[in-house]
Amino acid sequence: MTPRLVTLALLMLMVSPAQADSRIETTGVTHTIRFVNGKLQLPDGAKVDKPKCWRKAKAALKKYDPEGWAVYREIAKQDERLFWLWLACDTPMYGLPVAVHESVHIIGNTSKASRNGQRSAFRLMGGEMVSLAHQDLVPRKAIDRYLESWERDEYRANYLEGPGAEQGLMSLLDELNAYVYTLSSGRALRPTLEKGYSSSSRDGLSAFLRYLQLYVHHLARAEPEHYTALRSDPATLRLIARLWRDAEREIRRASHVDDLSVSDRPRLKLVYSRAGMSPLKALFRSTGVTFRPDMRMAAGLDLDRPAAKTTGSTTQVYIINGKRWTEAELVEAAKTDPEARQYLELVRNRKP
């Protein structure tokens, strides 16, 4: 039997220049990184070995992904190890989309535009830096109540529970922007994806489009003062509109590629439903800021088409957080492990 491998990437870096130390975890190793003179650095003496696959990974990044290459060159001016941290030589694409995603977070948090944490800064596609006054409004965990039962997956566990759930609008937009890069890099680096592998490059982006809609819905429904403040902030509205355009562009470019998504179709159907889009359209109404989502996206993506089926002679193998699982193993582990149960639900939601 030929195994079919699916990678589910869980990406989250919670850092703020206001913190003296931040801890990040990758491939089972926890690293402590600090801000020194406004720049994010590994502490003196920290040993982060150059990955064995770095030469191949670097060549692939330079050849196939100009946007990701530009991100790498920017963060390498601080410390190349901040990029190496996220690479995983035994995963598809060497983990490069993850490294690009996390590097975008770091670049924004450490840029001059952030004014040492006094403002929120975003490195947008193409290299433009946008800086906004902090407006976190309410914690993003407030949207948890609006999720469908099948949406209680690993994205919910990582972003709407625990410490990350306390972060608000700026962090939500920061993640949305970083997931635009994840899909951009995943699509660009697809020539390096071995036959039989799949990647979740598109899933995180669809999750955060959905989370943004629900966040605005919650403000309109339960936080009228915050909702009014957001409607009165043209800079933040322009950023939301720009991120939405960037996201749609990357989703459209990857729309014909089944192996760049695992579970995005059900979520995108919600995003492009009339009820899903209504909160954002209402937010922008009469503000003077243009927001034009492409409502033809749903038809263009053929969201009612089931995910590609594997052949009868194929065993599906999922790579989740660096560990390989067959569905049978997930079923067995789910009996006692809540985390495995979440992954099993995600896998089953992917099926037609």
Give the model's confidence band at 39: pLDDT under 50 very low, under 70 low, under 90 confident, else very high. low
pLDDT of residue 202: 84
Distance separating alpha carbons of residues 182 and 250, to the nearest angstrom: 10
Q: What is the DSSP letter of 55?
A: H
Q: How much is the average pLDDT of 286-305? A: 80
| Per-residue pLDDT band at 1 (split at 50, 70, 90) | very low
In the chain, the N- to C-terminal Cα span, in Å, equals 22
Residue 7 has pLDDT above 60, yes or no: no
Task: Quote the pLDDT of residue 332.
Answer: 77
Q: Which of these, 201, 164, 199, 200, lies nearest to 181 by C-alpha position?
A: 201
Which residues, listed in sequence order, are joined to residue 21 by a DSSP beta bridge?
34
Examine the pLDDT at 316 and tell me if it is beyond 60: no
User: What confidence score (pLDDT) does residue 37 get?
Assistant: 56
Q: Which pLDDT band holds residue 326 (cuts at 50, 70, 90)?
A: low
Stronger pLDDT, 2 or 78, i.e. the higher one: 78
| Predicted local confidence at residue 53, as pLDDT | 94
pLDDT given at position 22: 44
pLDDT score for 44: 56
Alpha helices in 118-263 (DSSP H): 154-159, 169-188, 203-222, 224-231, 234-253
User: How high is the mean pLDDT of the chain?
Assistant: 80
Q: Is 323 or 261 the better-scoring residue by pLDDT?
A: 261
Only one residue has tokens 């099926």, namely 351
pLDDT (0 to 100) of residue 348: 60
Distance CA 191, CA 186 (A): 10
Indicate the SS3 state at residue 213: helix
Residue 337's pLDDT band (boundaries 50, 70, 90)? confident
Of the segments 135-139, 197-201, 226-230, which one has the largest average pLDDT value? 226-230
For residue 53, what are its two tokens? 């696959």
Mean pLDDT on 164-193: 93
**Would you tell me how many other CB atoms lie within 10 Å of the CB of residue 37?**
6
CA atoms of 276 and 213, how far apart (whole Å):
7
Summarize the confidence of residues 178-189 as an average pLDDT.
94
Instruction: Convert the pLDDT of each residue in 123-159 to its tens digit.
Output: 999 999 999 998 889 999 999 999 999 888 888 988 9
Contact 11, 98 (CB under 8 A): yes
Q: Can you give the pTM of this predicted structure?
A: 0.80
Q: Specify the higher pLDDT residue, 114 or 56.
A: 56
Sheet holding 21-26, edge to edge: 21-26, 29-36, 39-41
Where do the structural domains in the chain lie, given as residue ranges? 2-350
3-state secondary structure of 166: helix
The CA angle 189-330-187, to the nearest 5 degrees, is 10
Q: Does residue 9 sit in helix, strand or coil?
A: coil
| CA–CA distance, 48 with 105 (Å, rounded to integer) | 20
- Cα–Cα–Cα angle for 321, 187, 63, nearest 5°? 105
Phi, psi of 175 (to 5 degrees): -70, -40
pLDDT of residue 300: 62
Q: How much of the chain exceeds pLDDT 70, in percent?
A: 71
Least confident of 16-25, 187-196, 285-294, 301-310: 16-25
64: its two tokens: 């196939």
Look at residue 88 in the predicted model and tell me its pLDDT.
87
341: left (phi over 0), alpha (psi -120 to 50) or beta: alpha
The one-character DSSP state at 315 is E
Question: Under DSSP, is residue 194 helix (H, G, I), strand (E, B) or coil?
Answer: coil
Cα separation of 50 and 33, whole Å?
17
| Residue 180 to residue 68: CA distance in whole angstroms | 11
Task: Give the rounded percent of residues in the chain with a pLDDT score beyond 90.
Answer: 47
pLDDT at 8 over 50: no
Taking alpha carbons only, the member of 340, 273, 339, 261 closest to residue 306 is 261
More confident residue, 334 or 229: 229
Q: What is the mean pLDDT of residues 18-47?
A: 51
Unique residue bearing structure tokens 């009339």 = 274
